[in-house]
Amino acid sequence: MKKITKLKLIIGGVTLISLIVVIGMSYFIGSQVFMASTQLVTNEGTTGVGDSFFEKYGINYDEFYSTYNIEKIEIISSFDGHVIPADYIFATESGNSKDNKTVILVHGLGGNRYSNYPVAEMFLEQGYNVLTYDQRSSNENTAQYTTFGFWEKYDLIDYIDYIRAYAPEQFLGVWGTSFGGATAGLALGYSNTVNNIDFLVLDCPVSSMKWMVEEEMRNMDIGIPVSYMTWCGNVVNKLNLGFAYSDAEVSEAVSNINIPVLIINSEVDTVTPYFMGKDIYDSIQGENKKIWTVSDSKHTEMWLDHNQEYRDKVAELLESIK
């Protein structure tokens, strides 16, 4: 009997130690996934844009700045108190008034408020004022974590409120690209935000935080099952930030919006594959939605490859809300 009891104690001890080792290893892996997925860019790595960028996108930097009045704005995040830097660009027809139809531009991962200038020019030519701002951990926005739109949505909502304070009765739209598309979708699906917006454009949008994290783990190819690493990362993300990957599903967030929506994507996009934009499109219950899919453009390069058609599609959307 004593031998049996001793054996049980040994087995129990080994089991407990094994459990502690597994938990410790899982937490370590989860912490690595968490750090990798929530610090995808740095302020230093996303500072400014070079002359080559403006040349690539056909913008004369000096001419742009001489044509449009640009006001730098800084507001304080209502979510966690960081500064959200932005450029407010006045359309020539606005008479430098903020009581004018306006669009907010949300850049993608690795970009900043300046990388939206080419698209800004398109909206400015349509008579829209433009507000383009730095997302979390980008350029002059020093907020610590990147969260595939989940926390980023609060910065966008703050600027929606900012613009509505100046232009309560004017048209207001949101354009978001890639990572910024997730921000835009999650923001409009949050609370009653969509009631303050008249149209939405999503260019190669991210639709799922979980899928993006899994893809990052898959590309690392380190021999540990991707599903296990993602599960560990999800647990640590929930412990540290209070939300799970499943909370950042754009398709679910936008399902009930009924404003005009244009989704732009490409069949050969390997960063945010075709299915992401299609899933978002399919999930929207309202009928006022369109999707424009090209067959040959890399991620977010439809603006370069199909520029006139891109402009025409956006112009059609803007015309539909008049």
- The 3-state secondary structure of the chain reads CHHHHHHHHHHHHHHHHHHHHHHHHHHHHHHHHHHHHHCCCCCHHHCCCCHHHHHHCCCCHHHHHHHCEEEEEEEECCCCCCEEEEEEEECHHHCCCCCCCEEEEECCCCCCHHHHHHHHHHHHHCCCEEEEECCCCCCCCCCCCCCCCCCHHHHHHHHHHHHHHHCCCCCEEEEEECHHHHHHHHHHCCCCHHHHCCEEEEECCCCEHHHHHHHHHHHHCCCCCHHHHHHHHHHHHHHHHCCCHHHHEHHHHCCCCCCCEEEEEECCCCCCCHHHHHHHHHHCCCCCEEEEEECCCCCCCHHHHCHHHHHHHHHHHHHHCC
pLDDT score at 51: 87
Q: Which position has the token pair 């968490």? A: 34
Sheet with 199-203: strands ordered across: 69-76, 83-90, 129-133, 102-106, 172-177, 199-203, 261-266, 289-294
pLDDT at 22 over 60: no
Task: State the pLDDT confidence band at 4, using cuts at 50, 70 and 90.
Answer: low
Average pLDDT along the chain: 93
pLDDT tens-place string over residues 104-142: 999 999 999 999 999 999 999 999 999 999 999 999 999
**Separation of alpha carbons 161 and 126, rounded Å:** 23
pLDDT at 12 over 60: no
CB proximity list for 283: less than 8 A, separation 6 or greater: 251, 252, 254, 255
CB proximity list for 307: less than 8 A, separation 6 or greater: none
Q: Which residues pair with 289 in a beta bridge?
A: 261
Query: Do 113 and 120 contact (CB within 8 A), yes or no?
Result: no
pLDDT at 48 over 60: yes
pLDDT at 198 over 80: yes
**Separation of alpha carbons 157 and 207, rounded Å:** 19
Token code pair at residue 160? 């929606």
Backbone phi and psi for residue 264, each to the nearest 5 degrees, phi listed first: -120, 125
Q: What is the mean pLDDT of residues 292-321?
A: 97
pLDDT at 1 over 90: no
Task: State the pLDDT confidence band at 61, using cuts at 50, 70 and 90.
Answer: confident
pLDDT tens-place string over residues 204-255: 999 999 999 999 888 887 788 999 999 999 999 999 999 999 999 999 999 9
Q: What is the mean pLDDT of residues 75-84?
A: 97
pLDDT score at 50: 85
Task: State the pLDDT confidence band at 195, using cuts at 50, 70 and 90.
Answer: very high
